[in-house]
């Protein structure tokens, strides 16, 4: 069961991140690059260099959740 409770904080990475990074790669970026604990209940948002993809990683109390979104151009 997935639980999307209220996050402690939402952190937006300002530097682009390689879109091929998965759980372990983004966990490392949060822990080593940003100096935060990925298991503390905050949501971490990253984009790729072209800014057309978003990746969110957060801990829901039972495990890490990784969400991805492809941004489409508006008409």
pTM of the complete model: 0.86
Q: Which residue has the higher pLDDT, 5 or 2?
A: 5
Report the C-alpha gap between 35 and 20 in whole angstroms.
21
Report the C-alpha gap between 7 and 16 in whole angstroms.
22
| pLDDT at residue 25, as a whole number | 95
Could you report the per-residue pLDDT of 9-65, keeping only the tens digit for each?
A: 999 999 999 989 999 999 999 999 999 999 999 999 999 999 999 999 999 889 999
How would you class 26 by CB atoms within 10 Å of its CB: exposed for 0-12, middle for 13-18, buried for 19 or more? buried
Edge-first strand order for the sheet with 43-47 is 10-12, 43-47, 53-59, 64-70
- 3-state secondary structure (DSSP) of residue 46: strand
| pLDDT at residue 75, as a whole number | 41
């Amino acid at each position: 069961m997935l639980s999307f409770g209220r996050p402690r904080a939402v952190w937006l990475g300002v530097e682009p991140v390689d879109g091929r990074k998965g759980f372990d790669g983004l966990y490392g970026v949060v822990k080593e690059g940003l100096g935060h604990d990925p298991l503390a209940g905050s949501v971490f948002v990253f984009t790729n260099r072209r800014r057309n993809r978003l990746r969110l990683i957060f801990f829901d109390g039972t495990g890490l959740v990784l969400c991805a979104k492809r941004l489409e151009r508006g008409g």
